């Protein structure tokens, strides 16, 4: 079976995913695209048909599965429409920007009766993160005690806001930490160091976030989206018996001009290209089975619940508790 994919949103990652499905993913093709900017959709369409909006694309008999790659605020609407149509959906992170919308998605999926949603937390498909997950689960570093993370982007776009440091960027580490540690984050705090002169004036950058899990593990996260030197993701877990560090991507070592060096990735699509490929292949492979795998709506909900509590912490300067409902048996 060739899975016929409809892509909603043909911005940076929408185009990246179209290219990925067209060139590298087995068993799928992009048959439909849409974007609020129709000209952009037409430019990115290739062989695919351009639809006027997400609802028309989802309803099309030429679409078996839906890839939501539009702006964060529009995710929930399209995911709910896809579930109502009984079509599998891969939704870029975050699943939704409010916990309430995530709960609506979970309720709709539960009424459907089986999982239809995979959330685009692609780090779970990165070789380095997967190895960390294996080693921690095997108990090789003993009980995890603390985790240090950094999420650095070269430069932020003009529409990037202080809240997005957690809702759009830190949400990756929130999901990765929950997954690696098999634990839930229960409280959160934000501390602001001196801001860089390279930020736009409306932005607080960098920010330092502190999380605590139910079992008492402490996680610190630096989000610095105008670090200038590259796209740099760091994660180190300290356990009772040892320490585990996310490897940098393998790059050849260059010796020249009296220096030893390796290239630093500049953007997310360089750093996580192989992870995105693996993520999309897993999604495509799951479609004919009728049951989504990978990060679920529950994971999307949990990450957004922590992220929105962290936005409250940005504003209050206090430690904020995460209000999260019990995990439903449906997502066990
Ligand atoms: N997993 C990752 O590392 C990663 C990387 C980049 C982006 N993302 C996520 O992917 C999404 C898109 O990011 P981007 O960088 O491509 O942004 P972008 O601004 O380049 O593109 C977003 C596109 O969505 C379109 N759009 C907005 N609302 C729409 C709607 N209701 N229907 C159809 N089109 C709509 C816009 O016109 C725009 O072309 C975001 O949710 C972002 O968080 C994830
Ligand atoms: O939407 C992007 C994307 O998720 C990247 O992976 C992240 O590094 C950026 O900070 C974020 O804005």
Which atom of ligand 1 has the smallest separation from the CA of 120?
A: 1
Backbone angles phi, psi at 68, to 5 degrees: -90, 110
Domain co-membership, 206 together with 285:
no
pLDDT at 217: 98
Radius of gyration of the chain (CA): 20
Domain co-membership, 220 together with 327:
yes
CA of 188 to the centre of ligand 1 (A): 27
Which residues lie below 8 Å from residue 243, measured CB to CB, with a gap of 6+? 141, 236, 237
Domain co-membership, 106 together with 13:
yes
Domain co-membership, 108 together with 46:
yes
Domain co-membership, 91 together with 186:
no
Both tokens of 15, joined, read 């185009």
Largest CA distance in the chain: 64
**Three-class DSSP labels, 7-56:** EECCCHHHHHHHHHHHHCCCCEEEEEEECCCHHHHHHHCCCCEECCCHHH
Domain co-membership, 132 together with 113:
no
Domain co-membership, 8 together with 48:
yes
Check pocket membership of 297 for ligand 2, CB cut-off 6 A: no
Domain co-membership, 100 together with 50:
yes
Query: Look-up: residue for tokens 């849409």?
Result: 34
Domain co-membership, 115 together with 154:
no
Name beta bridge partners: 239: 144
Domain co-membership, 245 together with 117:
no
Pocket of ligand 1 (CB under 6 A): 8-14, 34-37, 40, 54, 69-72, 74, 92-93, 120, 122, 168, 268
Q: How far apart are the first and last CA of the chain?
A: 29
β-pairing, 117-120 with 89-92?
parallel
Per-residue pLDDT of the chain (332 residues; tens, 9 = 90+): 899 999 999 999 999 999 999 999 999 999 999 999 999 999 999 999 999 999 999 999 999 999 999 999 999 999 999 999 999 999 999 999 999 999 999 999 999 999 999 999 999 999 999 999 999 999 999 999 999 999 999 999 999 999 999 999 999 999 999 999 999 999 999 999 999 999 999 999 999 999 999 999 999 999 999 999 999 999 999 999 999 999 999 999 999 999 999 999 999 999 999 999 999 999 999 999 999 999 999 999 999 999 999 999 999 999 999 999 999 999 99
Work out how many domains the chain is built from and give that number: 2
Domain co-membership, 99 together with 19:
yes
3-class DSSP assignment, residue 309: helix
Question: DSSP characters for 140-173?
Answer: TT-SEEEEEEEEE-S---TT--TTHIIIIIIHHH
Q: Are 237 and 229 in contact (CB under 8 A)?
A: no
Domain co-membership, 151 together with 136:
yes
CA of 30 to the centre of ligand 1 (A): 17
Ligand nearest to the CA of 231: 2
The ipTM estimated for the assembled molecules is 0.99
Task: From 137, 175, 126, select the one nearest 295 (Cα to Cα).
Answer: 175
- The distance of Cα 20 from the centroid of its chain, to the nearest Å, equals 17
- Angle, vertex CA 100, rays to CA 54 and CA 326, nearest 5: 125
Q: Are 123 and 201 in contact (CB under 8 A)?
A: no
Structural domain for 47, as ranges: 3-123+274-295
Both tokens of 117, joined, read 């949603």
pLDDT at 127: 98
Q: What is the CATH number of the domain that holds 175?
A: 3.30.360.10
pLDDT at 1: 85
pLDDT at 60: 98
Q: What is the CATH number of the domain that holds 18?
A: 3.40.50.720
């Amino acid at each position: 079976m060739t899975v016929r994919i409809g892509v909603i949103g043909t911005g940076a990652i929408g185009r990246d995913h179209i290219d990925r499905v067209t060139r590298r993913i087995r068993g799928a093709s992009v048959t439909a695209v849409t974007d609020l900017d129709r000209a952009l959709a037409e430019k990115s369409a290739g062989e695919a048909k351009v639809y006027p909006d997400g609802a028309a694309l989802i309803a099309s008999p030429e679409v078996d599965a839906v890839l939501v790659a539009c702006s964060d605020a529009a995710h929930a609407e399209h995911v709910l429409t896809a579930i109502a149509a009984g079509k599998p959906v891969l939704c870029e992170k975050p699943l939704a920007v409010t916990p309430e919308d995530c709960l609506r998605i979970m309720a709709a999926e539960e009424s459907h009766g089986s999982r239809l949603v995979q959330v685009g937390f692609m780090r779970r498909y990165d070789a380095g993160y997967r190895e960390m997950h294996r080693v921690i689960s095997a108990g090789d570093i003993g009980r995890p005690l603390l985790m240090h993370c950094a999420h650095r982007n070269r430069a932020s776009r003009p529409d990037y806001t202080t809240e997005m440091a957690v809702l759009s960027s830190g949400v990756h580490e929130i999901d990765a930490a929950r997954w690696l540690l098999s634990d839930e984050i229960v409280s959160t705090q934000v501390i602001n160091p001196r801001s860089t002169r390279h930020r736009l004036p409306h932005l607080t950058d960098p920010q330092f976030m502190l999380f605590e899990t139910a079992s008492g593990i402490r996680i610190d996260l630096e989000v610095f989206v105008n670090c200038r030197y590259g796209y740099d993701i760091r994660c180190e877990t300290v356990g009772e018996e040892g320490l585990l560090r996310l490897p940098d991507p393998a790059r050849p070592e260059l010796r020249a001009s009296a220096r030893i060096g390796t290239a630093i990735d500049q953007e997310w699509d360089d750093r996580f290209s192989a992870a995105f490929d693996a993520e999309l292949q897993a999604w495509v492979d799951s479609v004919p089975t009728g049951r989504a795998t990978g990060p679920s709506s529950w994971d999307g909900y949990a990450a957004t619940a922590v992220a929105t509590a962290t936005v409250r912490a940005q504003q209050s300067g206090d430690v904020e508790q995460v209000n999260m409902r019990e995990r439903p048996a449906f997502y066990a």
